[in-house]
Structure 1
Amino acid sequence: MSAAKDMRLTLSRDTRLCMSLSGRPSNFGTRLHNHLYQALGLDYVYKAFATTDLPAAIGGVRALGVRGCAVSMPFKEACIPLLDELTPSAERLQSVNTIVNTDGRLVAYNTDYIAVAALLKSHGVSPGTPFVLRGSGGMGRAVAAALVDHGLGPGTLVARNTDSGRAVADLHGLKWQPELPAEAPGAVLVNVTPLGMAGAPESEAQAFPDALIAAAAWVFDVVALPSETPLVRAARRLDRPVITGEEVMVLQAVEQFALYTGVRPDAARVAEAAAFARAG
């Protein structure tokens, strides 16, 4: 009997629901969370949702007692007016990826920042390294803050949206420009746009050209699905060190899991759950 069937057989009226809201829902988070719930004997279930009515969806989280809600593009900023409290990470970034519901009070967090900061440290990315960040949406805000707080820079933010590009650049002391630079030797190249994302119109697009990649110190693609994006494949081909969006997705999901359940799984459990999620 599969893990998914075992999990369904244990559902009851007391089972706590957690969920995600995304423009393009995937199975990764659903499989990872549910695998951990079952492995740790927790009476929870997780389900991914898409919506075209965000206020109604957030109202449902509140009214139905949904314990936790992950928030993905394009809702990370739009959900803010619908919530009761922003923790410091969400307040600073004005971007939300996690909502925790305690007796109808919805509190917002940003675990993307925690994940990116941890990965920069664990991969040994050297402070003082310049970076080029492509994208200025909600995830871009979290990544920019983590890059700067890690001591990277000077930084260039590339975004065609003048308003959001300038806003994020000004907030973090970055240079803004609408197009990629001609060269950026020794830089960390970071993609936080949908370029290369499965299911997106730009799913085959490579966020940075080979010439920039070949001269880069690191390549970091925050796109999680697929794990081997066109940018990641190019970086591996050009023998550049890589940080993947799948790594970000796993770490931020573990932070969410701890917020929802009060339980923090150990590294072995997380690795097992990530492998299970990846296989789905």
Structure 2
Amino acid sequence: MPGKPLIGRDTRLCMSLSARPGNFGTRFHNRLYELTGLDYLYKSFSTTDLPAAIGGIRALSIRGCAISMPFKEAVIPLLDGLGPTAAAIDSVNTIVNDDGRLTGHNTDYAAVVALIAGIDPATRFVLRGSGGMAKAVAAALRDSGFRDGMIVARNEAAGRALAEPYGFDWSAEPTETAPLIVNVTPLGMTGADADALAFPVAMIDACDVALDAVQYPPETPLLREARLRGKRCITGTEIAVLQALEQFILYTGVRPDPAQVEDAAAFARANS
């Protein structure tokens, strides 16, 4: 294993901003820095002053920043430009700082495209959520050939704003069964929503595949119920690994080998 340089004045800093910071990304990135011998350090943060935080990224030459809920859309006016994936869906989960110019990207999109590649695009889906991550997932579904879908969101304006540009249906509540069900809300996330089931049991019974974008905990109530019924599950942790890998490449210009990625993912899962 390459020796990671001691932290010093030349160490490059990367970070994350989230309402509920977790350890997965921090562990994953720092483990990959160790495995590849890069002089980088990664640290997670929360903030109640997003403009000041983004200004700090620019002022302190922080190389990159992961963006999580609830900042994925609010951060856009604070940036200098958007990469193609972020521009297409108006949602940012990654900022890259090139000598003070901040560019937003969306690596969630690429991760979801990879994970749904084996599902027949003729499959009907029901997606619950309407925020920044929901935009990434809906765009990934649309661009992967899925045309028959429903967006579930209590806020009609937000739900229709996501559904209609992609030609999907909208509903205020999840009532219709579908072979593919997708949760992109905080339901099931550690905290106040930890015990919430994102879909009724009848919908879980009827599905073939359950995708839950919630990262913490790795086994949400939705995934637990789906596994009990023998359904295929796509987890938030799987999304987290693939999107974090793409972030790592954007920040460092280095593509780790598969063994290094698996090592870092296992380390992050065990220590999160």
Which TM-score tier does this pair reach, normalised by the shorter chain? over 0.9
Structure 1 runs of 4+ off > 2 angstroms?
none
Q: Is the 8 A contact 2:227 2:233 kept in 1?
A: yes
The equivalent of 1:261 in structure 2 is 252
Q: Secondary structure at the match of 1:184?
A: coil
1:48-77 CA-partner distances (Å, limit 9, x unpaired): 000000000000000000000000000000
Unaligned segments of structure 2, at least 5 residues: none
Counterparts of 2:56 and 2:89, CA distance in 1: 25
TM-score of the aligned structures, taking structure 1 as reference length: 0.94
Counterparts of 2:84 and 2:270, CA distance in 1: 35
The equivalent of 2:9 in structure 1 is 13
Counterparts of 1:163 and 1:87, CA distance in 2: 26
Unaligned segments of structure 1, at least 5 residues: none
The equivalent of 2:158 in structure 1 is 164
The one-letter code matched in structure 2 to 1:178 is A
TM-score of the aligned structures, taking structure 2 as reference length: 0.97
Q: Is the 8 A contact 2:147 2:167 kept in 1?
A: no
RMSD (Å) for aligned C-alpha atoms: 1.3
Q: Is the 8 A contact 1:198 1:226 kept in 2?
A: yes
Q: How does 1:112-151 map to 2 (within 5 A)?
A: 112-121=108-117, 124-151=118-145
Superposed displacement of residue 161, structure 1? 1.3
Superposed displacement of residue 126, structure 1? 1.1
Q: Percent identity?
A: 61
1:71-102 CA-partner distances (Å, limit 9, x unpaired): 00000000000000011111111000000000
Counterparts of 1:151 and 1:226, CA distance in 2: 30
The equivalent of 1:54 in structure 2 is 50
Q: Secondary structure at the match of 1:198?
A: coil
1:1-40 CA-partner distances (Å, limit 9, x unpaired): xx9xx96x71000000000000000011000000000110
| Equivalences, count | 270
The equivalent of 2:173 in structure 1 is 179
The one-letter code matched in structure 2 to 1:158 is V
Q: How does 1:99-118 map to 2 (within 5 A)?
A: 99-118=95-114
Counterparts of 2:147 and 2:86, CA distance in 1: 23
Q: Is the 8 A contact 1:131 1:153 kept in 2?
A: no
Q: Secondary structure at the match of 2:116?
A: helix
Q: Secondary structure at the match of 1:42?
A: coil
The equivalent of 2:75 in structure 1 is 79
Superposed displacement of residue 268, structure 1? 1.1
1:211 aligns with 2:202: yes
Counterparts of 1:243 and 1:179, CA distance in 2: 22
Q: Is the 8 A contact 2:174 2:200 kept in 1?
A: no
The equivalent of 1:232 in structure 2 is 223
